[in-house]
Structure 1
Amino acid sequence: MESAPSLTARRKADTRLAIARAAAARFAEHGASRVTAEAIAAAAGVSLRTFYRYFPTKEDAVAPLLGIGAASWQDALAASPPGDPRTAIPEIIDHLLIPAGDAEREGLRWTRGLLRAMIEDPALRAVWHRVNHDSETRLRAIVAELEGETADPFQVRLLAAAATDAIRIGLEHWSESDADPDGSGGTPAALARRAFAELSSGVSER
């Protein structure tokens, strides 16, 4: 049986997330080039020395926040019924990308700002692509588990890539517009569903 995280571990996790939120908010508002590690540390209420204990660069600071979104996606797929994951993935996309309240809308808005900031910052783009790559790797194991013993490893890899890229492309394309996250037409959910439908169309059914 796994033991609960210690108080010290929880405090470290809270500090790490506070820094990540501060970094994401400032990158989204000002662009990464105009934000310093010192400014992020001050906004998070920590010293610069503490900042660098958690993150090697200012761009790396957003990784935990991006990772939370990826983990939510993985957990939702892992909890779906065994069988062909393609039946569950579009519903999960809607669940994750259609905001249920103000907090979710705000999260999508800072995500849009962050993705726009990445256009001019290669280091920030590298963090985004690393998070997506790690998510795809974890999804392979989940897809294989859902499909069972007859799963084809190559088909599993294709489906995991299609699911990961669908959300990435949906968010990136939406971020180029000023569309509401839960309006009609070009919402992140609608774009991600469309991307998944097209990307997964060549993956053979079981």
Structure 2
Amino acid sequence: MAIAEAAAELFSERGYEATTVEHIAGAAGISLRTFYRYCPAKEDALTPVFTSSVSGLADELAARPAEEPLSKAVEAAFAEAASLRRLADADRARRLLRVMDSVPALRTRWLAAGRELQDRLAPVLAPRTGGDPESMETRLLAAALIDAITVAMEYWARGDGAEDVMALTARALRYLRIDHL
């Protein structure tokens, strides 16, 4: 995670292209050899950020009361996971999301993390909806939720900061009209 934190800071401050593996290793206080032991390439340096975000949302949603409406539960889980992760510092998070959205190699990893979250969310959503975790409907719901959150975050990152990421996420979830589930 130290490598990921250093890479996130450098990518958001300097940009992806201007940041070298040597910069990341130096900021993390490790050797290049240690960097490459954990990360085969520069674009892999953020993997722990992606995976911790993935596990955080699924864990928070699983902890929400079963009787809570789904959109409220997802919104609250996202808010809790975001406050524990990168989004606590809005300017830094916005810069990092812009980098992730603009660098194809990072975007691929960001999308893969979203797919992983879909797989983790399906078993959490199934009891709330009365569905099977492997059913098309439950998996579609997981995909729709992740895509709504992703679109809201990316929209927020591209904006001027006038809108709050939590408000945008809530708006995206309301648009899905999932409370009947």
TM-score normalised by length of structure 2: 0.86
Quote the offset at 1:104 in angstroms: 5.5
**Structure-2 separation of matches of 1:60 and 1:134:** 16
Which protein is bigger by CA-based radius of gyration? 1
Identical-pair percentage? 37
Aligned counterpart, 1:196: 173
Aligned partner of 2:151 among 169, 173, 187: 169
Aligned counterpart, 1:3: none
Quote the offset at 1:192 in angstroms: 0.9
Look up the equivalent residue of 2:159 and give its one-letter code. S
SS at match of 2:143: helix
Question: Is 1:132 the equivalent of 2:109?
Answer: no
Kindly indicate whether the alpha-carbon contact (under 8 Å) linking 1:166 and 1:193 is maintained by their aligned counterparts in 2.
no
SS at match of 1:139: helix
Aligned counterpart, 1:147: 129
**Structure-1 separation of matches of 2:131 and 2:118:** 20
**Structure-2 separation of matches of 1:146 and 1:112:** 32
Aligned counterpart, 2:27: 43
Aligned counterpart, 1:86: 71
| Cα distance, 1:47–1:151 mapped onto 2, change above 3 Å | closer
Residues 151-186 of structure 1 deviation map (CA, whole Å, 9 limit, x = unaligned):
78222122211221122112111111231xxxxx62
Kindly indicate whether the alpha-carbon contact (under 8 Å) linking 2:70 and 2:128 is maintained by their aligned counterparts in 1.
yes
**Structure-2 separation of matches of 1:32 and 1:162:** 29
Quote the offset at 1:93 in angstroms: 3.2
**Structure-2 separation of matches of 1:172 and 1:158:** 21
SS at match of 1:33: coil
Alignment gaps of 5+ in structure 2:
none
Aligned counterpart, 2:138: 156
Alignment gaps of 5+ in structure 1:
1-16, 180-184
- RMSD (CA atoms): 2.5
SS at match of 2:102: coil
Quote the offset at 1:116 in angstroms: 1.3
